[in-house]
Amino acid sequence: MNTVLYPTPPLSHLPQDLVSVADYQRYAQKHLPKSVFEYITGGGADEITLQRNRLAFQQWSILPRVLRDITDATTATNLCGQAFRHPILLAPVAFHQLVHPDGELATAEAASLLDTGMVVSTLSSQSLESVAQKLESPRWFQLYMQQNRDFTLQLVRRAEAAGYQALMVTIDAPLHGVRNRAQRAGFQLPAEIEAVNLRDRPPLPRAEFTPDQSVIFQGMMSEAPTWRDIEWLRTQTKLPIILKGILHSDDLRIALNVGVEGAVISNHGGRTLDQLPTALEMLPELRASLNKADFTLLVDGGIERGTDIFTALALGADAVMIGRPQLYALGVAGKLGIAHLLRTLRDELEITMALAGCSSIEQIDAQYLRKQF
């Protein structure tokens, strides 16, 4: 299917009914080509995990404290030894040019305006160097480990030279999940959009399989990264390493032993294996399993409100990451949309903290929550 990119120009001003993540999704459905919207919005298989990600937040109520002086309140925090103005980061998302001609460059400009940390994807449609030049806020690089270690190291060295301050290594998606919604919509990556950071990647060897071999097991998974690759990477860079895609406490313990600085509790936005637990439900167990106070825990999946951010922080996250909503906002209104989205989420978090009686991120803990069902 041939996709006409950008059939509707981005909005130059924001209408009064565009005030939340849900509104941006509604507008994006009208602005973007159907196949692109379905690719972004969809999850794996029957989308059970995708639905659970949102429902998980509805299981919690916020129990406020009153008559507290919070006139000196702040959302400032520290992640992997780095200062952040607020605990909201833009998650690594591939191919921003699917929704806007400037792609990640516009996203980076918006992140800079709101002093928001951005994690730039290996699969970005603009080079990691060009995005870094636009980023004046904290910048991290998301790394997909490559079959060729020399090429992986080349990506790491490029990130270091461009001034990225941490590596976020995605470990939960060695292959695509079953994405029926995108298949039904006929999504194909347009020829004019590519993962420019991988242009110089050595060609993969042609694989041949016997009748009793599996294209999945003996093919795609034969070169998937293992803990040995993370151990190797740890010896190759002094940048903090955050592993993205941990749900099991045993894997978190291994990560600690390998010597990484952080982890993202994540089910990949419900886009890989369906019927996974939500990051939110696993968060308290994983936080409790840590015996290292300065280990950074981030969480993503289903976050649409300031109250969601507050809930995640109260359950043990140090910060949250926003994925799909940044593409909705970028497609609808370019960098204006992303800046507005980030400001909205930051304002909502501050309102939640004020009404809950919290004056700092460190104060937010489980005493402010009650489980509903």
CB neighbour list of residue 265: distance below 8 Å, 6 or more residues apart: 246, 247, 279, 282, 283, 286, 297, 298, 299, 300, 317
Q: How far apart, in whole angstroms, are the C-alpha atoms of residue 352 and residue 358?
A: 8
Joined together, the tokens standing for residue 211 give 């009748």
- Is 177 known to sit in a ligand binding site? no
- Is 268 known to sit in a ligand binding site? yes
Dihedral of CA atoms 194, 28, 312, 288 in degrees, nearest 10, equals -30
pLDDT above 50 (res 1): no
Note the pLDDT of residue 222: 67
- Is 144 known to sit in a ligand binding site? yes
- Is 244 known to sit in a ligand binding site? yes
Model confidence at 325, in pLDDT bands (50, 70, 90)?
very high
- Is 368 known to sit in a ligand binding site? no
- Is 108 known to sit in a ligand binding site? no
Residue 30 in 3-state DSSP?
A: helix
- Is 54 known to sit in a ligand binding site? no
Joined together, the tokens standing for residue 125 give 């449609």
pLDDT in tens, 238-282: 999 999 999 999 999 999 999 999 999 999 999 999 999 999 999
pLDDT above 70 (res 220): no
0.85 surpassed by pTM:
yes
Q: How far apart, in whole angstroms, are the C-alpha atoms of residue 115 and residue 307?
A: 21
Average pLDDT over residues 330-357: 99
Q: Are 50 and 28 in contact (CB under 8 A)?
A: no
Note the pLDDT of residue 213: 78
Number of H helices, E strands in the chain: 12, 12
- Angle at 164 (CA atoms; ends 258, 88), nearest 5 degrees: 85
pLDDT above 70 (res 219): no
Domain boundaries, the chain: 53-60+75-187+224-367
Between the two ends of the chain, the Cα-to-Cα distance in Å is: 44
pLDDT in tens, 229-244: 999 999 999 999 999 9
- Is 184 known to sit in a ligand binding site? no
- Is 371 known to sit in a ligand binding site? no
Average pLDDT over residues 14-19: 98
- Angle at 123 (CA atoms; ends 154, 200), nearest 5 degrees: 40
Joined together, the tokens standing for residue 225 give 């990264």
- Is 359 known to sit in a ligand binding site? no
Joined together, the tokens standing for residue 272 give 């890989």
pLDDT above 70 coverage of the chain, percent: 98
pLDDT in tens, 32-68: 999 999 999 999 999 999 999 999 999 999 999 999 9
Model confidence at 111, in pLDDT bands (50, 70, 90)?
very high
CA 291 centroid distance within chain: 25
Note the pLDDT of residue 368: 99
Roughly what angle, to the nearest 10 degrees, separates helices 324-356 and 34-41? 50
Is residue 268 part of the annotated active site? The answer reads: yes
Q: How far apart, in whole angstroms, are the C-alpha atoms of residue 190 and residue 34?
A: 14
Among 84, 246, 266, 98, CA closest to 185: 98
Note the pLDDT of residue 293: 79
Give the mean pLDDT of the chain.
96
Domain 53-60+75-187+224-367's class? Answer: alpha beta
pLDDT above 70 (res 146): yes
pLDDT in tens, 168-212: 999 999 888 999 999 999 999 999 999 999 999 998 777 777 777
Joined together, the tokens standing for residue 367 give 């005493």
Residue type, 127: S
Joined together, the tokens standing for residue 79 give 């992640």
pLDDT above 70 (res 121): yes
Q: Are 177 and 271 in contact (CB under 8 A)?
A: yes
- Main-chain phi, psi angles of 299, to 5 degrees: -145, 150
pLDDT above 60 (res 2): no
Q: How far apart, in whole angstroms, are the C-alpha atoms of residue 47 and residue 42?
A: 7
- Is 170 known to sit in a ligand binding site? yes
Catalytic residue among 31, 100, 268, 340: 268
CA 370 centroid distance within chain: 27
If you ran DSSP here, which 8-state letter would residue 76 be given? -
Q: Are 296 and 330 in contact (CB under 8 A)?
A: no
- Is 93 known to sit in a ligand binding site? yes
